[in-house]
Structure 1
Amino acid sequence: MLYKQFERGECLYHNPLSNITDIEDWKLEGSAKHSFKDSRLHLENELDPDIYGDDAHWVFWCPIDFPDKIIIEWEFYPVREPGLCMIFFAAAGRRGEDLFSTDLPARNGKYPEYHSGAINALHLSYFRHKHPDERAFRTCNLRKSYGFHLVAAGADPLPPACDSIPPYYMKLVKYEGLVQFSINDLPVLEWEDDGVSFGPIFGGGKIGFRQMAPMKAAYSNLTVHQATLKTGNNK
């Protein structure tokens, strides 16, 4: 049971991710291939990680700036392993710049550019099947950056891609300092930022998907609602 309960308010964004027109204004950092099958967006690396190493990973940004107090939902389909899937949220320049500002250094998909570079963001890795130790003991990890601070972790209920029966319904709540994450309505983690230990609480910003090669995954029905705190059942 999560500490606080939220419900969907106004719909701020809906994207079925079902055809090329749905991602025309999205921004890719790094190299990746996209395709569409069964009205779902399939994403995978373009570069061979055995040759290009960390240059084979990438980030794909939704162009919208979202406010604070939101519920982010999407359908996730693991297709091929090994790899890692992550979502960035509340992402913006460290001095308040727009994430895509030309005043910020260029980013090309390498992870340090996102956790120890010129931006602030929260990032949740929810499918960590890249390295042997991650597959041996699977967790979902929430980090706050600038600084790569691991602030919360929860058990990952997702099976290997070969055993998956998707879609998996992902739900992420960002409400002031509170972050909640669930899969198929199963609570995975909850964390409340005190605004002191790891710097000020982040507000709004952009959302982006990240994959580590050679992961292949599919996505559909990305939706963002305003989050409304339920009354009468919160501690």
Structure 2
Amino acid sequence: MSFPIKTYFHKKQLIFLFLNCTFSIFMHGQITNIDANELANWDLHGIGSVSYDKNEKAVKLTESKESLGAMLVSPTSYSENLVVTFKVKPLQHEGVCVILLGLNDLDGGDVTIPKNYNGDFNFWKSEKSTARSHAFAFHTAFHQPNAFIKENPGFINIGLQKDVVTEEKWYNIEVGKINSRFWMKVNGKTVIDTLSNKKQRIFNKSKIALRVRGPGDGTFSALYKDLVIKENLNYKNIYACNFNESKDLEDWILEGPGKVKLKKDRLLIHSKYQKFIHKKWKKGRITINSTNSNYYPVLRKKMISDLKINPSDYSYEGSFSGGPVVLWNKTKTPENYEITFNFKSLSPHSLHMIIFSALGLNGESIFSSDLAKRNGTAPKYTKGDISNYRISYFAPIRKTANLRKSPGRKMLDSGIDFASQSPKELHRIRVQKWKNNIVFTINDKQVLNYSDDEKALGAGYFGLRLMVPAIGTYDNFNLYELKNGPF
């Protein structure tokens, strides 16, 4: 079915000629599917036109001559926390595509777009603007090489990464917002995933808009179709941190001889003896690998000299294993939860770990004075008086990520360690726990999917553990309560 071209200079209310929007309630929330016919009936603002492309079965949004942009605004308001997916095909090189979420006035009401609006984006981004929005931009090479997420008014940067929408072909786009977390994916791969430094003011409902901006000569247009809006999501944010203030460290407790500090808005963690061991390794005096490292005798002497330690406090059954560090977060997780964060290794050596669902054997907080003191050595966490799951990753020699359960250090599952395949890259880590099911992903690639049928652990605390040779940065931590099963 064709849809006739209609050109507008100002806001035009359209009658819904096609009502093919479907609603359904899933365990993940409310899903709204908007086909091309209904999308063509969104409110057009700026100088441009909207039409239906019969061959592509898509809406064509075009910027007209002397335009400063054209946009389609949803007539319906949606939840503030949501995920939007759609397909887009830019039709010319010289033009930028934008999707705006959270369109409101500053008090949470419907934004009033002026009559005779010419599409000028300054209406949204000016610091004096009374309109509020979050802009996700891609296919930006006409202006500059980066995709971005900006917060308005003020055009405040939230995230900026190299744009991958560089051709005039179909792309699958996903953008999302959950409280202060914002992300953009292209063809299933994460381009931006970050936290806003600004405390978010959450309103119940807000609108969505699609925007095109070209050279203003009427040559730029883009096709859109298969738009899906997911609301009432399966997530309740419990803890979020992006490590841009020193007070963020107050949420964490260090165990073992470690160093923790903020570096370029990231959390830097390593053992006090990481550099010492690395220098010994470079000189060929020790070996470092996941199965046969021989640095502990050298490290034992160094720690006795530096810290005046009793070696037995860092030993198990006569074997010294001191030097690793554990950094606990003070927030207790619910029984069902998801943990996400960004990670980057600054060393070629392993090993990094995340510990989760950790409690005393009698259900105590891991910070209870009734529990034995811990100092980073493995037996304190695997054969002591606390229970936990632990996933180890970034193991370049072993090349696997391993899931273990303690006490007992029982191996539960193993999978491909995608982090060590790209050792110098930033990686997005995700741990999901729903009842007895655990899923671990790296860069949205599933590594582990395990069901613990032997007294699965529930709520507890989570932390990071690093072996002595390891050093890395962490940021963009999020802890979510899962309201329904994500699997």
Question: What is the CA distance between 1:54 and its match in structure 2?
Answer: 2.5
Residues 129-140 of structure 1 mapped to structure 2, 5 A cutoff: 129=396, 135=397, 137-140=398-401
Equivalent of 1:32 in 258, 261, 265: 258
Q: Does 1:164 align with 2:424?
A: yes
Residues 62-211 of structure 1 mapped to structure 2, 5 A cutoff: 62-129=329-396, 135=397, 137-159=398-420, 163-166=423-426, 168-195=427-454, 200-211=455-466
Q: Which runs of 5+ in 2 are unaligned?
A: 1-26, 29-232, 278-297, 301-319
Question: What is the CA distance between 1:66 and its match in structure 2?
Answer: 1.0
Root mean square deviation, CA, Å:
1.9
SS of 2:365 mapped into structure 1:
coil
Question: What is the CA distance between 1:38 and its match in structure 2?
Answer: 1.8
Asked whether the 8 Å contact 1:15–1:22 carries over to 2, the reply is yes
- How far apart, in 1, do the equivalents of 2:445 and 2:421 lie? 18
Letter in 2 for 1:90: S
Aligned residue in 2 for 1:43: 269
Scaled by the length of structure 2, the TM-score of the pair is: 0.42
Q: Does 1:220 align with 2:475?
A: yes
The number of aligned residues is 216
Question: What is the CA distance between 1:61 and its match in structure 2?
Answer: 0.3
Deviation track 1:174-203 (CA, whole Å, cap 9, x = no partner) reads 1110000001111111000112xxxx1111
Change (3 A) 1:149 1:107: same
Letter in 1 for 2:459: G
Letter in 2 for 1:127: F
- How far apart, in 1, do the equivalents of 2:393 and 2:350 lie? 11
Asked whether the 8 Å contact 2:238–2:481 carries over to 1, the reply is yes
Letter in 2 for 1:81: P
Letter in 2 for 1:51: L
Scaled by the length of structure 1, the TM-score of the pair is: 0.86
Larger of the two Rg values belongs to structure: 2
Report which structure shows greater RCO (CA 8 Å, sep ≥6).
Answer: 1
Asked whether the 8 Å contact 2:399–2:420 carries over to 1, the reply is no
Deviation track 1:126-159 (CA, whole Å, cap 9, x = no partner) reads 1124xxxxx0x41000001111100000011123
Asked whether the 8 Å contact 1:11–1:223 carries over to 2, the reply is yes
Asked whether the 8 Å contact 2:270–2:325 carries over to 1, the reply is no
Question: What is the CA distance between 1:40 and its match in structure 2?
Answer: 0.5
- How far apart, in 2, do the equivalents of 1:83 and 1:164 lie? 13
Asked whether the 8 Å contact 1:8–1:71 carries over to 2, the reply is no
- How far apart, in 2, do the equivalents of 1:151 and 1:159 lie? 21
Question: What is the CA distance between 1:21 and its match in structure 2?
Answer: 1.1
- How far apart, in 1, do the equivalents of 2:391 and 2:350 lie? 14
Deviation track 1:87-146 (CA, whole Å, cap 9, x = no partner) reads 0000000111111111000000000110110000000001124xxxxx0x4100000111
Letter in 2 for 1:87: I
Asked whether the 8 Å contact 2:334–2:460 carries over to 1, the reply is yes
Letter in 2 for 1:31: P
Q: Which runs of 5+ in 1 are unaligned?
A: 130-134
Asked whether the 8 Å contact 1:19–1:40 carries over to 2, the reply is no
Aligned residue in 2 for 1:132: none
- How far apart, in 2, do the equivalents of 1:28 and 1:66 lie? 18
